[in-house]
Structure 1
Amino acid sequence: MSADSLLEQYNSWLLGASSAGSLALCTDHWIIDLVRQRILEEPDLHNSLQNDAFLLIGCGLQDRADLLLALQQLACAFQALEQAALHLYLFPWRREFHTITTYSGYYVHTLEAALPQDAIFRALRRLNYEPEEGSTSLKIQVLPAPQALATAALGFLAAQMECNILSDLVSCSGSTLVNGADLIQERRSWRGEDACMERLQKLVLEPRVVPTSVDHVVGASNGDALYQPQFGDYSHEPFDQHINVSCRMVTDHRGEERCHTQVPHVDVVMHDCVFVEHSLEHCCAACNMFHSSLCSVMKVCRDKGHRVTQMTSSEKIQAVMEEQRKKYQLHRCLQPGQLPHYRCTNCRQLHYIKCKEVEHCRSQGHSASMIMLEKDQRLWLQRSSMDLTLLCRNKPESHIG
């Protein structure tokens, strides 16, 4: 669907809102889902809508350590801008909508909380707002045409959906070491949420050299500078713990030296506690096993003198990516509500009892074993359907003696 077709659908909703005299934002779930899906698969649609989405979002994310908070504030700002466009479209005769004061709560707490002043002025110029002398207010001298206001409102809605997409990517990919510029660059380069999320996860793990030249910037397609990566952007450690953009060996709270580029060994497996508690926090080097934060087995490991370490974000991401590669799938023999009775370690599939495919696997020399206990059957079913990226999210650490 092109930008024109999308605008046609939005205009249909606007006609209904106009007839009802509603001041409300677009709450039509069909329209919202349509806009999100279209820009998710085609990020360049923002260019057709001329909403400067990535440029404005890049400005809002610059120098922001908490990307999720920044994106939430940006989504609120774009929602307020959409509302401003709808006010002008539905009620062009209301003069109070023709002026925005820069000291009002709307401006200070919603727009300035998310965007620098130049970016705010740029966005509001789409609605023909221009700053007055002294920048205490922005006024409209000539009201935009209704179609221009409708296009602007749709553009701001699309920008809001883009913020939600980026928030989902940050939350689910575990990409806590990725800055705003990287996030935008990968989002614009990859089509679809899954592809972008996978790329972001790999980006965290890839050794990279951060340019230190003051001339190096990440820019928008029109040449506007969005963000200049800072020395040490790609680590949680303080600035003085880095030399030549490489992490020093630092000492954690247990006195163990570790490098932040360390990743878990691919042969390490996840203990059942990880899937039961949806928590991936620790690694036992002696047992080659990952554990949740509350697993009682870790106490046994420590009593035996095993080295149990808390995992970094990068380690969690690589562990989840490896587990995703090995993840079991449900065979077509399993119907909703049924528990698996067999698992084939070669095909990585779970089967229902008396499934003929199990015998075929065994005839091929595959290791197809029976899952005896119901609790284990439920666990294997849970593992096959779990969104493993949730395991990358940080949970409060529970200290086990």
Structure 2
Amino acid sequence: MPSAIVFGANGISGTAMLQALVAQEPAQFSKIVAISRRPPQINLDDPRIHFVSIDILNSSLNEIIKKMRDAGTQDASHAFHYTYIAKNDEEELTEVNKELFHKALEATAAVAKDLKCFLLQTGYKYYGVHKGGKYLAPIPFKEDAPRHEGLNFYYVQEDMLKEAAEKHNWKWIVTRPNFIIGVTKGNFMNLAVTLALYAVLRKELGQPFTFPGNQIMYDNIVDHSAAINNARFQLWCGENLEKTGNRAFNIHDGDKIRFRDVWPKIANYFGLSLPSEAEFFTIPKPKPGEIALQLSVEEYAKDKHDLWRKISQKYGLDESAFNYATWDFADFATGRTWPDDGDMSRAREAGWTTTVDSFEMYKEVFEKMKRLQMIPKY
């Protein structure tokens, strides 16, 4: 019976893949080997899941191979890779993630001799959305868009995957989501979590739910990619290799949304008012290509640690949740002036028909945050 390997099983995407895998009939995958540096952060009552703690970056290749072999990955048919380490320096970011992926590929090849498919999740950074300007691919982003100049560790990883797949006779698949919406215990780093924490601060201070960015970004398309929808698509790709093998795919929720579509709904969810029309934007409309903020949430949050401590005590919350917010990313996501608009025609033509409501995915994250005692149950 085939088994699956999930690298980075404790992250938002890896956890979503575990949930998608256990929803399958046992005949699909008799064993699911979940690999992560930390102990398991999710409680899925399924005997097929085997958690293996491996510090891939700091372990030798032989050590990784032994642990994977001991976990019974020899009959694995599919591998899914989500491992990622953030670094501010681009060269260091590239090198550390190149090393992580190299070891994952080499260890898998050494152990899983009958592997059919290795899937790598990258993202819209492939299209230069993190840089903008001359680095940005033509809009809407298509999978065969030319690569931008300079470093991009996604390019390095994709080239490594294709080379390994050809060498070992695997099918390779790359999926490219955008804003990944989800949450798991101990790993809260995504836009939905940060906006929820920002909303709680505004509510407790009696302040309106001010959009941090500018007029252009409020109206721009910003593709969202729910973690569970990504995982289901990735699993579907692995089951339809005749259509998906050796191809890259954009994946988003399928509903082309803008911040103007979800911002009022998030405000309403938390019982917050919006600024008046006259005060909704307090900065001049920026020029295309610029980054402009009317309120930096990163700066806003800097002096709110004592407030959060009081909020945590008042509602019995996990005080450490505040430390997991990616305030700087929220600034970047809302302060740019270029869209995140990916073409999903390739996935549709291959047969993927699912569309999910992005705001409903926000709500699911908020509800889970309440259960994890990250935000109050207003």
Q: What TM-score, normalized by structure 1, do the two folds share?
A: 0.24
Q: What TM-score, normalized by structure 2, do the two folds share?
A: 0.25
- Structure with the greater relative contact order (CA < 8 A, sep ≥ 6): 1 or 2? 2
